[in-house]
Chain A
Amino acid sequence: MKYYLGIDLGSTTSKAVIVNEHSVVVGRGITNTRANYEIAAEIAKQQAIYNARFTLLKEKVGKHLLSKKEYQKFFNDLENVFQYLQFKNRFEKLTHEMIRQSEQYKEKKELTPILTQLLKDMEKELYKKYLHENLGNKNHFFRDIVSEKYNEKLDQCDKKYFETLMNVFDKSINPVENEIVEYDFQQLIHEGTNILKEHYHELLNSDIDEIASDFRSELELLSGNYNELKEDLLSHIENIAKENIVIENMVGTGYGRALLPFPQECIRSEILCHAFGAHAIFPKTRTVLDIGGQDTKAIQVDEYGMVTSFHMNDRCAAGCGRYLGYIANEFGLSLNELGPLTLQAKRETNICSTCTVFAGAEVRELLNMGEKKENILAGLHKAIVTRAMSLIARSGGARNEFTFTGGVARNQAIVKYVSEFIHNNYGKDITINIHTDSIFMGALGGALFAQKNIKVELDTKKAKAS
């Protein structure tokens, strides 16, 4: 089997998608974009390859087994634990680095023990989050997971060391985050199965209330069949781990594409990739809206997924994903909390400035006047969508099926307003597509371009030589 890789290096996240020669997605990976684009791309790619191995593993295990609920659960848990083990490895490196850093300080005698204890607690709590709350399957990034927990811990700490402990973290996180660690797939699976075995055992013996009853039956099945399952799995795992996933061709795209360590001919504009990806998933798509971190794009495509026209936001980045991040900060919320809270709004406060500079002041004034948080948020969300809709209008409106992609499509409130606008302005019969993986559309388009080997030259060096 041949494999093809697409990498979408966005301003906030880097995504990788692997497709096989039949254009089927077999692996996906995502990480936060950082100063070093090469590392972000590499980590996303690594994730996608692990993910591909899981896909292969599932294929090998066979459909008949996967149709059983307990097997589904097991695979889900296994991927989760797999993520955990990677996390754990990196967290150990972080612990090591932070303790080393803390020893550089005058007050190390008091500081280091506090820090050591704090990190130990964190490790325990995060273990729980992985094992009990399925954290590994939520696409959260190492940096976000640790910094959220660390901040929480610092709040409970003696304020005397607050600054120092912050500094220690800041100094350590970058090198640790940017280290590329190769894992042995087989070994992690082994470790993972062992952890799961123990975990299931523990769960079954724990208080019955902790486990939902329908879950319990699966657990019992899993526990009972565990050895059988493990054997079944292990027979395949060796083959899968050994299988060399060779990338035949690849295409890079996204905001940082020029910085990708790819040959020039493998780089393509994100406009083409997003459109191609969206069109592959929803072939009747004729209009694509992509709201990413840095850019908003309105794209029209033909029946082959080829771009016929496009419009991007102007100089001003208001109305892009970045703006949502800014709003979240202004309200002291995380990005994931924005959508659900906004959906609780009774009405939308009228917000005039989508300018990041002015909106802050406007928000503070509204809060002072006693306006409800969720209503202001609703107004802000609506303002972003209004900007995007003017781009859609510029590009010629929405036709046939409308597909909404990009990281911002994960925000349910944005989705709600986009749907309202599209239906109100372009008719109720327009189908609106939003895929759970809409954030991967650019990378998918890239992978498909790589697979179809559709040459779109952007090459200057190569051409010059000719």
Chain B
Amino acid sequence: MDKIEKIVEQCKDILCDINYTVPKQWKNKEKNRVLVGYLPIYFPREIVWAANGLAVGIMGAGDFKQVVKGDAYYQSYICHMPRGIIDLALDGHLNDFDGFVFPSICDVIRNLSGIFQVEKIGKFSKYLDYPQNFNKEIGGKFYKSELEDILEKIYQINKIHVEKDQLNEAIRLYNINRRYLRIIYDIRETYPWRLSAYELYVIVRAGLSMPVNEHNQLLEIVIEEINKERGVPMDNIRVIVWGAFCEQMPLNLIKSIESAGCYIIDDDFFIGSRWITKDIDDHSNDPLNALTEAFLNNSTFSSSVYDVDNPKEKRLVELAKQRKADGIIFASPSFCDPALLDTPLCQKHCEKNNMKYISFQFSENTGQFKVIKEQVGAFSDSIKLWEDITV
């Protein structure tokens, strides 16, 4: 077992742990520490870290848990993720969490924040309404007031006033985290075989459930290892997987895509961890302002953010070209309005730009991948064949 395999093993245990043991242990080490669960997509975790807390990604129960109570909350035409989350909460797996933040992804996640309020889960449940206006004086001011509101809620719990220095330090740590992730994605662009998409997925996801400094250490080792040769190059096509930004794919589905002949060289699985595309100013006198400006000006794109001035389909195809992708796989969770309403727009743009694509739907507890695997395999073969003909 090489170093990366060991890290992957360790990370897999963390992400499959529906009891969130690692964050809970972290919390219990010191008085006044708080745990704040946040749902996909993006949440500026820095503010929680600065308030002596840890923001923990709640990405659903996946296929790790048999959902019964959660099903009682949702009709069959609503996606799977919130059922698992309710089930986790009602079965006590989220006990010890102080509060929850529900970033504005869609109406289902928004209303889930209401269910948490009704069921009195945690000390607070906050729907974080991302501004869809990107003017500093308008949307910026509103966003900043939203962050202040969250800080106030945490203050009510641990009575810690967040100072400038703590925020700047948090920004510095998360800057490192984002920078490392950028480096890993960049290395994989050239040497995708050195770290499989599955390994990458597990490593990034574990970062949502552990202290940022510890995750940074893991990422450092990963970078060191993949700067060296590892694995064997294969005759795979290069794809971007897009649409699974909220409800997550089953781990075996990611493996299936890879084993069907694809290198996944970019994705939006944990787009929130890479949301801010540049380092945020960590020496500012007003760090909340720095966080706000980063959100307004240096955000990546996603189905949950209004995009008329900078259409996402253009940015997606640009990204694909920049990563030298052969094609895009649109993988959307069933009943996901944001992803599925974007798919036709993106596909149209792909066609215009000769970018090959396929699309399928999944849910976090999908158990059979045969059809998807065949579809992806055919996609991979057709691209290889097409290359052979044109060369």
Contacts and interface: CB of A to CB of B under 8 A. Distances in A.
Interface stretch (B151-159, B323-331, B362-370): B362-370
A358 B72 contact: no
Contacts of B367: 350-353, 362
B368 A393 contact: no
Given A316-B76, A350-B63, A361 B71 contact: no
Interface residues of A, number: 21
B69 A361 contact: no
Interface in A325-355: 350-353
A103 interface: no
Given A314-B76, A316-B76, A352 B69 contact: no
A228 interface: no
Interface in B336-391: 363, 365-368, 370-371
Interface stretch (A11-19, A43-51, A192-200, A383-391): A383-391
Interface string B166-208: 0000000000000000000000000000000000000000000
Contacts of B371: 361
B60 to A, nearest CB: 14
Contact of A386 (B66, B76, B363): B66
Contact of A314 (B67, B75, B363): B75
A365 B72 CA distance: 29
A390 B368 contact: no
A387 to B, nearest CB: 7
A421 interface: yes
B69 to A, nearest CB: 5
A425 interface: yes
A315 B365 CA distance: 21
Nearest to B364: A352
B221 interface: no
A394 interface: yes
Contacts, number: 45
A293 to B, nearest CB: 19
Given A352-B63, A361-B370, A361-B371, A391 B72 contact: yes
B319 interface: no
Nearest to B363: A352
Contact of B368 (A316, A365, A391): A365
A350 B66 CA distance: 9
Contact of A390 (B63, B68, B366): B68
A393 B91 CA distance: 13
Interface residues of B, number: 17
Nearest to A392: B72
B250 to A, nearest CB: 9
A402 to B, nearest CB: 15
A203 B66 CA distance: 55
Contacts of A394: 72
A338 to B, nearest CB: 20
Contacts of B368: 352-353, 358, 361-362, 365-366
Contacts of B69: 390, 393
B72 A390 contact: yes
Nearest to A353: B367
Interface in A211-244: none
Interface string B32-73: 000000000000000000000000000000010011111110
A421 B75 contact: no
A392 B257 CA distance: 38
A315 B76 contact: yes
Given A352-B63, A353-B367, A365-B370, A390 B71 contact: yes
Contacts of B76: 314-316
B78 to A, nearest CB: 11
A314 B67 CA distance: 17
A394 B72 CA distance: 5
Nearest to A379: B367
Contacts of B365: 352
Contacts of B70: 390
Contacts of A387: 71
A352 B80 CA distance: 11
A393 B367 CA distance: 25
A425 to B, nearest CB: 7
Interface in A151-167: none
Interface string B222-241: 00000000000000000000
Contacts of A352: 63, 363, 365-368
B148 to A, nearest CB: 38
A47 B64 CA distance: 50
A366 B69 CA distance: 27
A425 B71 CA distance: 14
A316 B77 CA distance: 10
Contacts of B63: 350, 352
Of A350, A353, A358, A390, most buried by chain B (CB within 10 Å of CB) is A390
Of B75, B365, B367, most buried by chain A (CB within 10 Å of CB) is B367
A358 B69 CA distance: 23
Nearest to A316: B76
A389 B75 CA distance: 14
A394 B68 CA distance: 10
Contact of A425 (B68, B75, B363, B366): B68
Contacts of B370: 361, 365
A136 to B, nearest CB: 41
Nearest to A314: B76
A393 B69 CA distance: 6
Given A314-B76, A350-B63, A352-B63, A389 B366 contact: no
Given A353-B368, A389-B68, 16 more contacts: A314-B75, A314-B76, A315-B76, A350-B63, A352-B365, A352-B368, A353-B366, A353-B367, A361-B368, A362-B368, A365-B368, A366-B368, A387-B71, A390-B68, A390-B69, A393-B69
Closest 6 CB pairs of A and B: A390-B71, A393-B72, A352-B367, A362-B368, A394-B72, A352-B365
10 contacts: A351-B367, A353-B366, A353-B367, A358-B368, A361-B368, A386-B66, A387-B71, A390-B67, A390-B68, A393-B72
